[in-house]
Amino acid sequence: MTIPFLDVGAAYRELKPEIDKAVARVMDSGWYIQGPEVEAFEDDFAKFCNVTHAIGVGNGLDALVLSLRALGIGAGDEVIVPSNTYIATWLAVSQVGATIVPVEPEIALHTISAESCMKVMTSKTRAIIPVHLYGQPADLNPLLQLARENGIFIIEDAAQAHGAGYRSEVIGGFGDLTCWSFYPGKNLGALGDGGAVTTRNPDLAKRVRLLSNYGSEKKYMHEVAGTNSRLDPVQAAVLRVKLRHLAGWNERRRTIARRYLEGLQGLDLVLPEVPQWADPVWHLFVVRSKERDALATRLTAKGVQSLIHYPLPPHLQGAYAALSYSEGDFPVAEQLAKEVLSLPMGPHLTEQQASQVIDALRRAT
């Protein structure tokens, strides 16, 4: 009996009648692009994030690209990104033609700090993109202060952190723009691709919406050279249903995480550290081990699936060969890539399964 890393179909099975009804409603409505379902989800999601604006877009990568474009960031500008993120954060910066300036994360937290950003800032720095990796917010206040003092922007990559809290407030409106992915495996996942940008700034909201819809507010009038990246109404309808369950699902993830944190004490593993400012939503539960690969193999043999997020940092990917980075350039990201292991985690993992994972790890370490 294998314990899956994530049962991505479980949410649909739990809510099948509601979701099927929502999908049928879109099919029957005749609105297949934009329209009332997308607007309703945008309202719901903005409320959930305690902000004034949410703009549905095609996916999480586009959310980042559109945010950079909305701020007018492009060639000649520098953007600070974590060295240990999913490659999308980097790709967004290269897509707009700006220069990627990587900084190492705090190793225990997997997120970047204002101190390390300060060290790489130049007169060309226009923005910092902190990533709330694994569902745990970066320390935002010092980053926001640094940005304010230097007239630069904060774009949050919240693709893994729907519903996470920073100093008792839900994330979504701390930075100038916050970017979301609704990729199926995320805490709030669609049945396909989807994304959003949230903000409290009406001008930026307008700008993102314009750029995402062919640069057009009025049909066949194009103020700017935009793109086509819109949230699909079918996905919006599905997301509206799922959003009502997100808080409960995140609570179930917290229960599993508490169980792991207790049950894995005293093993030869580095457990996730939660700073006092953070209320993580445990998109992933990531442990570290010097013998990560052997450990993963032993877990598989015991019927426990695990995954690695991520096995190769962006600077060593073929995609960035042209930047001529080499091994040793970002030692923290490289060490993390060798040591991290993500345990089964999700709202549909039972507490009994979590106990089995703990058991397997106790026998495998």
Ligand X SMILES: *Cc1c(COP(=O)(O)O)cnc(C)c1O
Residues that bind ligand X (CB under 6 A): 59-61, 85-86, 88-89, 131, 157, 159-160, 181, 183, 193, 195
Question: Given the complex with ligand X, which of 104 and 157 has the nearer CB atom?
Answer: 157
Question: Given the complex with ligand X, which of 88 and 237 has the nearer CB atom?
Answer: 88
Cβ 177 vs Cβ 67: under 8 Å? yes
**Minimum distance from residue 345 beta carbon to ligand X (Å):** 14
Question: Given the complex with ligand X, which of 155 and 264 has the nearer CB atom?
Answer: 155
Closest CA to 105 of 360, 341, 332: 332
**Minimum distance from residue 335 beta carbon to ligand X (Å):** 19
Question: Given the complex with ligand X, which of 86 and 249 has the nearer CB atom?
Answer: 86
Question: Given the complex with ligand X, which of 138 and 269 has the nearer CB atom?
Answer: 138
CA-to-CA distance for 104 and 328, rounded, in angstroms? 12
**Minimum distance from residue 316 beta carbon to ligand X (Å):** 17
**Minimum distance from residue 283 beta carbon to ligand X (Å):** 8
CB atoms within 10 A of CB 166: 22
Question: Given the complex with ligand X, which of 264 and 337 has the nearer CB atom?
Answer: 337
CA-to-CA distance for 140 and 154, rounded, in angstroms? 9
First to last CA, the chain: 21
Nearest residue to ligand X, using CB? 60
Cβ 82 vs Cβ 111: under 8 Å? yes
* Residues with Cβ within 8 Å of residue 264, at least 6 apart in sequence: 271, 287, 358, 361, 362
Sign of CA dihedral 261, 267, 272, 276: positive
Which DSSP category does 5 fall into? S
CA-to-CA distance for 136 and 146, rounded, in angstroms? 20
Q: What is the 3 state secondary structure string of 45-102?
A: HHHHCCCCEEEEECCHHHHHHHHHHHCCCCCCCEEEEECCCCHHHHHHHHHCCCEEEE
Question: Given the complex with ligand X, which of 61 and 341 has the nearer CB atom?
Answer: 61
Question: Given the complex with ligand X, which of 282 and 364 has the nearer CB atom?
Answer: 282
Largest CA distance in the chain: 65
**Minimum distance from residue 84 beta carbon to ligand X (Å):** 10
**Minimum distance from residue 172 beta carbon to ligand X (Å):** 15
Q: What is the dihedral of CA 91, 92, 94, 95, to 10 degrees?
A: 110
Cβ 143 vs Cβ 169: under 8 Å? no
Question: Given the complex with ligand X, which of 181 and 235 has the nearer CB atom?
Answer: 181
**Minimum distance from residue 312 beta carbon to ligand X (Å):** 15
**Minimum distance from residue 228 beta carbon to ligand X (Å):** 15
Token digits of residue 316: 């060593």
**Minimum distance from residue 334 beta carbon to ligand X (Å):** 18
**Minimum distance from residue 290 beta carbon to ligand X (Å):** 25
Pairing of the two strands 153-157 and 177-181: parallel
Question: Given the complex with ligand X, which of 88 and 154 has the nearer CB atom?
Answer: 88
